[in-house]
Structure 1
Amino acid sequence: MHVLVTGGAGFIGSHLAEHFVQQGHDVTVLDSFEPYYDLGIKERNVEAAITAAADSAGTYELVEDSITDADTVDDCVTQADVIYHQAAQAGVRKSVDKPQTVNRYNVDGTIELLEAARRHNVTRVVVASSSSVYGKPEYLPYDETHPTTPVSPYGVSKLATEQYARVYNEVYGLPTVSLRYFTVYGPRMRPNMAITNFVSRSLHGEPPVIYGDGSQTRDFTYIDDVKRVNAQLLTDDSADGEILNVGSTDNIDIQTLAETVCEEIDPSLKLEYDDPREGDAEHTHADISKANGQLGYEPTTDIREGVSTFIDWYRDNRDWYDPLVRQS
């Protein structure tokens, strides 16, 4: 089977590309290499998939261009059976600064992709959405019927993305599934996330910095759980037309997360606090009963186990992943 992964040099996309290549599929990755963070990390992501291809019957092709380029998108979609649409301008805080940029990549780019998929009768498009679509909670955990009132341009763009996917399914018959990810983490994750910041500072003997009072909560989802549910959708059509939460076993407050990291690395470190960051949600917590009912989705990694695994991986890969080591 031929799989197209947009944003396939990024965190989640590269794990999907690597997995599908290992399973013997032909994979095309479309990525613009937007310098939102150190591109050396994306280069390592690509290397991981190339290495996987060398050891399997699958093939790997990298196309470096934007999801907004109609001709490139059409060329990539022409050969695809299934599309995993991970490409997006990520980052809540960045979207507050540049909402037009976020709309161009996340909304306009998605429409380009869906149009091409419709023209070429693609078997399925799996769209990466986000818990950011919910905004301020009226109740927790969020189920898929919870009101969607995002508090950032990024959240608005992701809501538009999944709604376009739904409409393309209902109006044009294009098989689509949208997965609302809840703060995915793990090896090769973006270096500007809370977990990476806490781990990096702690390994350098510096106290983790919490933005706000630490009472805000997050549902952190380990990358292996996300990878598994995406892989199931390669052949499972039971969720076509649906929007599904993909979360973890539980949520955790940010202060406890920081304390967990310190306990693993250096219990003597004291936490520091700074002003809250604009656009960040106060709480996230996923009700995954719909994904469980339709796909049998069951997350297997709790946050403490996942953090411990990530810290071990971080230590083994500090020479290229740690921002302070790379700058020295």
Structure 2
Amino acid sequence: MVDLKKKKILVTGADGFIGSHLVEKLVSLGSEVTALAQYNSFNTWGWLDTVEDRIRKEVKVVTGDIREYDGVKRVVKGQDVVFHLAALIAIPYSYLSPMAYVRTNIEGTTNVLEACRDYDVGKIVHTSTSETYGTALYVPIDEKHPMQGQSPYSSSKIGADKMAESFYKSFDTPVATIRPFNTYGPRQSARAVIPTVISQILSGKKKIELGSLTPTRDFNYVKDTAEAFIKVAESDKTIGQVVNAGSNKEISIGDLVEKIIKISEKEVEIVYDEQRIRPEKSEVNRLLADNSRIKELTGWKPSYTLDQGLKETIEWIGENLNYFKSDIYNL
């Protein structure tokens, strides 16, 4: 078992949704955290700007770009553990700019793996996604399920996963791949369905604009997902493995929206918005995780129910509605 306390740990994509929650968790464990945030001329650190001062003061924030190898190499040097979360993640935007996903998700991941190999990093946790499975060919989906590139985004993540696999098999790089199913919670952007629905409701809209309501998803609260990352990093058994992080439960988008409306205690109407509907062959119709491997290897299982997570998410969005542009479609 890897004890993360006092370990030097790098989190790429630390400025993002899951990354910022993971940074908070690592600091609470006593890790020495370096957070890689994407460089920008505004000198903003994404969601890290919103974490408590007592947490942020314990974090070394470095700005850079995983597409640039020399910069990646500098920040990886001296680290004991690397959590690689940096990626382009929005599926709709991948239809518009596929090459950006190749450069960030495949080439960027390769840069991280190469740097970790050069500096003999003790453990790398690479972030995959349930989207690599595409529409379920059988359920629940275990790690042996075929991968299907149903969008440029999912294809780029498949490529990144295979690079991680190749570094383990070719160079004995100690990499584990975590494959989170649909994570939600505070700080998630409105490109995802849950904050899209909640932000529209809380902004006073009487008609909620959505795409298809029939697909099913396996939703997981972000604090549970962050804990799964920790458990995968701590376990020696996960090296060379791909592990699903999911709840083993599914709900349709339609039923999910009805649940959010009920918790919010609002009266709204759902209307279709064509621009929010994926191309027919690109839509992933069903995702349901088999999480038996991660339970066996790490002991992890979700602690939040969907209702508990939604209530916390609604409360947070209500307090931070200014971050959301609910009147436009967020790619």
TM-score for both structures, normalised by structure 2: 0.90
Aligned-pair identity in percent equals: 30
Query: Is residue 196–residue 326 contact of structure 2 (8 Å, CA) maintained in 1?
Result: no
In structure 2, relative to structure 1, the CA distance for the partners of 1:322 and 1:93 (3 Å cut) is closer
- Aligned partner of 1:308 in structure 2 is 311
Pairing 1:167–2:160 present: no
In structure 2, relative to structure 1, the CA distance for the partners of 1:50 and 1:129 (3 Å cut) is farther
- Following superposition, the deviation at residue 33 of structure 1 comes to 5.0
CA RMSD of aligned residues (A): 2.1
- Which SS does the other structure have where 2:127 is aligned? strand
- Aligned partner of 1:321 in structure 2 is 323
- Following superposition, the deviation at residue 209 of structure 1 comes to 2.0
Pairing 1:126–2:128 present: no
- Following superposition, the deviation at residue 50 of structure 1 comes to 5.0
| Paired amino acid for 1:192 | R
- Aligned partner of 2:48 in structure 1 is 45
Ranges in structure 2 where 5+ consecutive residues have no aligned partner: 1-6
- Which SS does the other structure have where 1:83 is aligned? strand
Give me the whole-angstrom Cα distance separating, in 1, the residues matched to 2:53 and 2:239.
Answer: 30
- Which SS does the other structure have where 1:116 is aligned? helix
- Within a 5 Å distance, the mapping from 1:98-113 to structure 2 comes to 98-113=97-112
Give me the whole-angstrom Cα distance separating, in 1, the residues matched to 2:119 and 2:43.
Answer: 32
- Following superposition, the deviation at residue 321 of structure 1 comes to 2.7
Ranges in structure 1 where 5+ consecutive residues have no aligned partner: none
| Paired amino acid for 2:99 | Q
The alignment of Structure 1 onto Structure 2 pairs a total of residues equal to 316
Q: Alignment partner for residue 8 of structure 1, among 14, 28, 31? A: 14
- Aligned partner of 1:293 in structure 2 is 296
Give me the whole-angstrom Cα distance separating, in 1, the residues matched to 2:239 and 2:188.
Answer: 28
Give me the whole-angstrom Cα distance separating, in 2, the residues matched to 1:137 and 1:104.
Answer: 27
- Following superposition, the deviation at residue 120 of structure 1 comes to 0.5
- Aligned partner of 1:208 in structure 2 is 208
Give me the whole-angstrom Cα distance separating, in 2, the residues matched to 1:53 and 1:205.
Answer: 34
- Aligned partner of 2:84 in structure 1 is 85
Pairing 1:22–2:18 present: no
- Following superposition, the deviation at residue 24 of structure 1 comes to 2.0
- Which SS does the other structure have where 1:323 is aligned? coil
Query: Is residue 179–residue 243 contact of structure 1 (8 Å, CA) maintained in 2?
Result: yes
| Paired amino acid for 1:25 | S
- Which SS does the other structure have where 2:238 is aligned? coil
In structure 2, relative to structure 1, the CA distance for the partners of 1:307 and 1:89 (3 Å cut) is same
- Aligned partner of 1:137 in structure 2 is 136
Query: How far does the alpha carbon of each residue in 1:216-253 deviate from its partner, in whole angstroms, 9 at most, with x for none?
Result: 11111111111112112333211110001111241110
Query: How far does the alpha carbon of each residue in 1:113-161 deviate from its partner, in whole angstroms, 9 at most, with x for none?
Result: 1111011000011011001111122112211111111201111111111
In structure 2, relative to structure 1, the CA distance for the partners of 1:50 and 1:108 (3 Å cut) is farther
Query: How far does the alpha carbon of each residue in 1:180-202 deviate from its partner, in whole angstroms, 9 at most, with x for none?
Result: 11111111112221001100111
TM-score for both structures, normalised by structure 1: 0.90
Give me the whole-angstrom Cα distance separating, in 2, the residues matched to 1:143 and 1:39.
Answer: 41
| Paired amino acid for 1:196 | P
- Which SS does the other structure have where 1:13 is aligned? helix
